[in-house]
Amino acid sequence: MTEIVKNFEHILWSYFAIPTLMLISLIFTFYFKGAQFKFKKMIQCLTKKNPHSNVSSFQSFTMALAARVGVGSLAGVALGIYIGGPGSVFWMWVSALITAASSFVESTLAQLYKKKDGDLYVGGPAYYIKYGMNQKGFAIIYAFIIVLTYTFGFSAIQANTIATSFRDVLSIPPLLTGVGLSLITSMIIFGGASTIANMTSKIVPIMALFYIGMGLFVMMTHLDYVPTFFITIFEDAFRPSPLIGGTVMYTVITGVKRGVFSNEAGMGSGAHAAAMTNSDSPTDQGYIQSFGVYVTTLFICTITAFLIMVTHATEVGSLSSNGIELTQYALTQLFGPIGGIILSISIFFFAFSTILTGYYYGECNVKFLWKNEKILTVVRIIVLLVILVSSIGSASLIWSLVDVGVALTATINVMALCYLAKEVKKIMNKKKS
């Protein structure tokens, strides 16, 4: 069963979702005149204060970043280098620069079609598919897949990764980790969207600065390797994959896939966070969320790549590797026994913040599907049970199912972006006039 799902996931991503997303994002890059490269505008929007919104732009930014900077930034990058070679990192960078255009469009649309939810706002692809395209059926399908994939699937994967890391490094029983995670998560998600936003705005800066700081320290202590790092990546980008012995295209696909998995640009997930705040202009969130794509891929993922390559961690990999053991090996080589503890801390911050944001994305779509608070309570209880059970089980099949779900949401979302891109263009032209 697992092998069948994996094959289907590979076909869906490699031959349909990724080529479509890259092509549409490239078209958007020209159509919106490189909106994703206006870095000064991004910083201005991110630091702008809005007294008329209960959720700040910075909070919505950190919430989306919490979902992007997950375990994939630690394990996925390592696995990508092992399978596709160092050159895959180059294509991760390229994918970030291009797909950030789709992030700009989806986040702007999220603001344009958001709905009032008490003192806050709620939105996302399901909302702009229904109210912008008048396609209620597609909106319902998208909402269901998000709930299953992000709320339940990602919660299971992240909880399992935390429990496995704590067991292997700190000798903490998975059941104990599962119970603790469930209790902490319950205190936050039952507090509602504002509590989640407040928590991620505190966790994400800490985890990002911690990881980036550690990476810069390693680079500073290995300055002689920095030129080799970049030269190897650029030279290897146009060579066949060393593991599979395939074509250069396999290296490209591996890098783009890992980049998209990491920053989630074009998948529509970040649009849920973008809809939370009440920005002065819908495009403000487009610029902010585009910046989040760069933070994830150009900073966090690049640091992981440096750790892997400077220690030659891929030499201990195997076809059954999930990537995290390669990162653990790298940190152990660099910091000794304390390296495992550093990894466990990083995994906890990365994975736990992803659980919170993944739940919130699901909550947005539960509210879209049902106007019933009791159903939302049931979903919250199920999430807590999923966290507990997955902490003591295996997540191999869930990984593949989640990958399929994400590919489907990306496909539906990109179709919606193509249809509604003209609405974003109208807003940009109106601001100029």
pLDDT tens sequence across 278-309 = 877 888 889 998 998 998 888 889 999 999 99
- In this prediction, what percent of the chain has a pLDDT beyond 90? 28
- Sequence length of the chain is 433
Q: Are 384 and 182 in contact (CB under 8 A)?
A: yes
Buried b (16+ CB within 10 A) or exposed e, 119-141: ebbbbbbbbbbbbbeebeebbbb
Per-residue confidence (pLDDT) for residue 98, from 0 to 100: 93
- DSSP codes, 319-351: TT--SHHHHHHHHHHHHTTHHHHHHHHHHHHHH
pLDDT tens sequence across 382-405 = 999 989 988 887 666 676 777 788
Distance CA(57)–CA(51), nearest Å, equals: 11
CATH topology of domain 54-424: Amino acid/polyamine transporter I (1.20.1740)
Residue 2 binned pLDDT confidence (cut-offs 50, 70, 90)? low
Q: What is the mean pLDDT of residues 172-183?
A: 91
CA proximity to 271, closest of 72, 104, 97: 104
Phi, psi (5° rounding) for residue 383?
A: -60, -45
CB-count burial class (<10 Å; 0-12, 13-18, 19+) for 230: middle
Residue 300 is given by DSSP the state: I
Distance CA(191)–CA(359), nearest Å, equals: 12
Distance CA(131)–CA(133), nearest Å, equals: 6
Q: Are 355 and 184 in contact (CB under 8 A)?
A: no
Per-residue confidence (pLDDT) for residue 140, from 0 to 100: 93
Distance CA(323)–CA(284), nearest Å, equals: 36
In three-state form (DSSP H/G/I as H, E/B as E, the rest C), the secondary structure along 273-294 is: HHCCCCCCCHHHHHHHHHHHHH
- In this prediction, what percent of the chain has a pLDDT beyond 70? 93
Domain residue ranges of the chain, discontinuous segments joined by +: 54-424
pLDDT tens sequence across 181-218 = 999 999 998 887 778 888 888 888 888 888 889 999 99
The enclosing H or E element of 116 equals strand 115-117
